[in-house]
């Protein structure tokens, strides 16, 4: 009989602490109202669900991609979370994209291969000065022509307006990582 009482006491203790923990962490019951957060910045993965962006078939990027290389998608916060931005559980979140302004990668590469010695590729991309120089020197005696083919094929020469190429296929797209004066290089323990 004494063992049954001990087991019941043990069970009661763990049920009590489990319920207390559940009440403390559940947003609906802990304070009697919903929690408000800045949903676009404070929520972690799993606390919201976003709709798939609408992809433009011509550019293969989200339709509302801006010059800052971001697009907004509609998201919904988890139950019990209200967004400060909207006062509801719905909000808009920015996702990365590649802004394009109509310059085709295939067209640029073909112009570079066949008419690059006349500077047609540079004229097409908006680099008028370099295009004129290549035109007057026959692509720097064809050396600059070959160099430009390599630079355009590796997507190191972009349009003058700062946009990206429209890549007309689901193929390789280059993400260039550059270092500047604001780049921080952290030293790890393996570097010592």
- Note the pLDDT tens digit of each residue in 132-169: 999 999 999 999 999 999 999 988 999 999 899 988 77
Q: What percent of the chain has pLDDT over 90?
A: 46
- Report if residue 16 sits inside a domain: no
So what's the pLDDT on residue 180?
74
Residue 115 pLDDT level (bands cut at 50, 70, 90):
very high
Query: Token pair of 74, please?
Result: 């509609």
**Residue 192 has what pLDDT?**
52
21-60 in b/e burial notation, b at 16+ Cβ within 10 A? eeeeeeeeeeeeeeeebebbeebeeeebeeeebeeeeebb
Contact of 40 with 92, CB cutoff 8 Å: yes
In this prediction the pTM is 0.66
Give yes or no: residues 79 and 110 share one domain. Answer: no
What pLDDT score was predicted for residue 139? 93
**What is the reported pLDDT for 129?**
96
Domain end, chosen from 71, 97, 123, is at: 97
Give me the number of domains the chain comprises: 2
* Residue that the structure tokens 């291969």 belong to: 113
Statement to judge: residues 157 and 122 lie in one domain: yes
Residues 51 and 36 in one domain: yes
Confidence at 191, pLDDT banded by 50, 70, 90: low
High-pLDDT (> 70) share of the chain, %:
74
Please check whether residue 106 lies inside any domain of the structure.
yes
pLDDT at 22: 45
**Same domain (yes/no): 78, 115:** no
Q: How does residue 16 score in pLDDT terms, banded at 50, 70 and 90?
A: very low
Cα–Cα dist 14/18, whole Å: 6
Residue 180 forms part of a structural domain: no
> Which residue, of 97, 124, 155, is where some domain finishes?
97
Q: Which residue has the higher pLDDT, 129 or 26?
A: 129
Domain that holds residue 157: 102-166
Counting Cα atoms < 13 Å in the Cβ hemisphere of 91 gives 25
Assess if residue 129 is contained within a domain: yes
Q: Which carries the bigger pLDDT value, residue 16 or residue 82?
A: 82
189 in a domain, yes or no?
no
Residue 6 has pLDDT above 90, yes or no: no
Lowest-confidence segment of 43-47, 121-125, 149-153 by average pLDDT: 43-47
Mean pLDDT of the chain: 81
Same domain, residue pair 83 and 37: yes
Encoded tokens for 185: 């290089």
Q: What pLDDT was estimated at residue 113?
A: 97
| Residue 39 and residue 90 in one domain | yes
181 within some domain: no
Has residue 23 been placed in a domain? no
Residue 179 within a domain: no
Residues 14-34, mean pLDDT to the nearest whole number: 48
- Domain shared by 91 and 124, yes or no: no
Q: Rounded CA gap, 9 and 81, in Å?
A: 37
Query: How many whole angstroms from its chain centre is CA 115?
Result: 35
């Amino acid at each position: 009989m004494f063992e049954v009482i001990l087991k019941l006491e043990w069970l009661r203790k763990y049920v009590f602490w489990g319920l207390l923990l559940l009440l403390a962490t559940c947003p609906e019951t802990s304070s009697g109202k919903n929690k408000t957060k800045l949903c676009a910045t404070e929520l972690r993965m799993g606390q919201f669900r976003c709709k798939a962006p609408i992809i433009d078939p011509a550019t293969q990027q989200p339709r509302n991609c801006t010059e800052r290389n971001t697009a907004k998608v509609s998201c919904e916060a988890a139950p019990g979370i209200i967004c400060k931005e909207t006062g509801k559980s719905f909000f808009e979140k920015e996702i990365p994209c590649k802004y394009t302004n109509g310059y085709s990668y295939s067209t640029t590469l073909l112009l570079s291969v066949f008419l690059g010695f006349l500077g047609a590729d540079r004229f097409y991309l908006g680099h008028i000065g370099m295009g004129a120089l290549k035109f007057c020197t026959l692509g720097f005696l064809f050396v600059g022509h070959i160099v430009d083919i390599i630079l355009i094929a590796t997507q190191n020469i972009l349009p003058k307006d700062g946009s990206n190429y429209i890549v007309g296929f689901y193929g390789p797209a280059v993400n260039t990582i550059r270092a500047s004066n604001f780049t921080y290089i952290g030293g790890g323990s393996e570097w010592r």
